[in-house]
């Protein structure tokens, strides 16, 4: 099988946490995984861990705050593979405390800008840049890592199960990301490409904190499912594992 025939996935923020577990599980399925990492040395170390498991893996520098990073990713993937089968927009930030307070009346423009830059604007820029490569694949898949905290329905309902989590910049950025998922899926509805939002769960990561109920080793499930959907699978949805979530 040549490099142009094998499946290739690009995962941002993949040197640790959910991104790394997603890359590992996709690699175990025989998919070549390219790890996007802000710190290239850490990305290369993560790629070596996967290579030791007989997973085809490489790392490239990808920083959501550097616009040229999207060009770097495109040039690498175009040169080495000529297409992209799977894009997992995994990289994200949460600057405010996610739980226990509501900062809607006080969140600063700086926090909003930094959060939206990573969680929304860079995702759009990267996806738009790589879309020509995704269109060259037989059945492209785009997975946007969202959060249940993006759900307007759940936030506004009486006795909301996510009521304590009112970090406005983070939540709003993920809600906007879900809107992008819906709109892009609609634009691509007559193509083989599927676009979906994933809530991985509340995971023990640097963002999720030590009190989260899900271990990192289990955090890949939703992303991998959406990255490997068959032709009958959904597009334009918001999912946790096999369950649809309310917008």
When mean pLDDT is compared across 27-31, 46-50, 219-223, the lowest value belongs to: 219-223
The verdict on domain 8-244 having CATH code 3.40.640.10 is no
Residue 116 has pLDDT above 80, yes or no: yes
Give the pLDDT band of residue 1 (cuts 50, 70, 90): very low
Checking if the pLDDT of 4 tops 60, the result is: no
Model confidence, pTM: 0.94
Mean pLDDT of the chain: 93
pLDDT tens per residue, range 212-246: 555 667 778 999 999 999 999 999 999 999 899 99
- Return the pLDDT at 37: 97
Mapping DSSP onto H, E and C, the string for the chain reads: CCCCCCCEEEEECCCCHHHHHHHHHHHHCCCEEEEEECCHHHHHHHHHHHHCCCCCEEEEECCCCCCHHHHHHHHHHHHHCCCCCEEEECCCCCCCCCCCEECCCCCCHHHHHHHHHHHHHHHHHHHHHHHHHHHHCCCCEEEEECCHHHCHHHHHCCCCCCCCEECHHHHHHHHHHHHHHHHHHHHCCCCCCEEEEECCCCECCCCCCCCCCECHHHCCHHHHHHHCCCCCCCCCCEEECCEECCC
Per domain, the residue ranges of the chain are: 8-244
Which of 62, 170, 180, 220 is flagged as catalytic?
170
Q: Does position 145 have pLDDT exceeding 90, yes or no?
A: yes
Active site residue 220: no
Rounded to an integer, the average pLDDT of 155-173 is 92
Q: In this model, does residue 160 exceed pLDDT 80?
A: yes
């Amino acid at each position: 099988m040549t490099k142009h025939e094998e499946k290739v996935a690009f995962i941002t923020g993949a040197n640790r946490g959910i991104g790394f577990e997603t890359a590992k599980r996709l690699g175990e399925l025989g998919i070549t995984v390219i790890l996007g990492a802000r710190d290239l040395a850490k990305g290369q170390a993560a790629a070596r861990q996967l290579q030791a498991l007989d997973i085809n893996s490489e790392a490239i520098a990808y920083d959501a705050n550097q616009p040229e990073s999207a060009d770097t990713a495109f040039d690498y993937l175009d040169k080495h593979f000529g297409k992209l089968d799977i894009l997992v927009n995994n990289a994200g930030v949460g600057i405010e405390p996610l739980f226990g307070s509501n900062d809607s009346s006080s969140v600063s423009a700086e926090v909003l800008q930094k959060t939206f830059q990573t969680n929304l604007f860079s995702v759009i820029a990267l996806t738009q840049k790589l879309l020509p490569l995704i269109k060259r694949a037989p059945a492209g898949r785009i997975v946007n890592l969202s959060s249940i905290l993006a759900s307007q329905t759940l936030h506004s309902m009486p006795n909301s199960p996510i009521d304590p989590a009112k970090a406005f910049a983070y939540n709003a950025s993920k809600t906007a990301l879900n809107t992008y998922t819906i709109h892009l899926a609609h634009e691509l509805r007559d193509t083989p490409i599927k676009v979906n939002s994933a809530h991985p769960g509340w995971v023990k990561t640097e963002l999720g904190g030590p009190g989260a109920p899900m271990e990192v080793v289990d955090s890949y499930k939703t992303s991998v499912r959406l990255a490997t959907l068959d032709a009958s699978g959904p597009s334009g949805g918001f999912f946790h594992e096999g369950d649809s979530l309310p917008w």
